Amino acid sequence: MEGTIERLHQEMDNKERGSGDRWLHNELDTLLKVHHEIVTIHDATAPDAPPAPSRPPAAEQCCGDGAGEGFGCGKPVNGGTSALGAVFHKECFVCAQCGGDLSGGFYEDNGYAFDDADCMRKHKQEHMSEEEKAKLPRCGGGAGPGMGCGEICFPGTGGTNALGAQFHSGCFSCAKCKGDLSGGFCEEGGSAYCSPECMRP
Q: Give CA–CA dist 75/88, Å, rounded.
A: 9
Q: Judge whether 167 lies within some domain.
A: yes
Q: Is there a single domain that holds both residue 181 and residue 200? A: yes
Q: Give CA–CA dist 178/152, Å, rounded.
A: 19
Q: Is there a single domain that holds both residue 121 and residue 150? A: no
What is this structure's pTM? 0.50
Q: Which domain holds residue 89?
A: 58-126
Across 108-117, average pLDDT: 91
Q: Is there a single domain that holds both residue 120 and residue 141? A: no
pLDDT digit string, tens, across residues 16-58: 545 455 555 566 566 666 556 665 655 555 565 555 444 445 4
Q: Judge whether 50 lies within some domain.
A: no
Radius of gyration of the chain (CA): 38
Q: How many domains does the chain have?
A: 3
Q: Is there a single domain that holds both residue 187 and residue 163? A: yes
Contact 101, 115 (CB under 8 A): yes
Q: Is there a single domain that holds both residue 120 and residue 173? A: no
Contact 151, 138 (CB under 8 A): yes
Q: Judge whether 37 lies within some domain.
A: yes
Q: Judge whether 32 lies within some domain.
A: yes
Q: Is there a single domain that holds both residue 120 and residue 146? A: no
| Segment among 33-47, 105-119, 134-148 with least mean pLDDT | 33-47
Q: Judge whether 52 lies within some domain.
A: no
pLDDT digit string, tens, across residues 85-97: 999 999 999 999 9
Q: Judge whether 143 lies within some domain.
A: yes
Read off the amino acid at residue 107.
Y
Q: Is there a single domain that holds both residue 6 and residue 30? A: yes
- Read off the CATH number of the domain in which 66 is found: 2.10.110.10
Q: Judge whether 51 lies within some domain.
A: no
Q: Is there a single domain that holds both residue 15 and residue 33? A: yes
Q: Judge whether 53 lies within some domain.
A: no
Contact 181, 160 (CB under 8 A): no
Angle at 186 between CA 201 and CA 190, to 5 degrees: 75
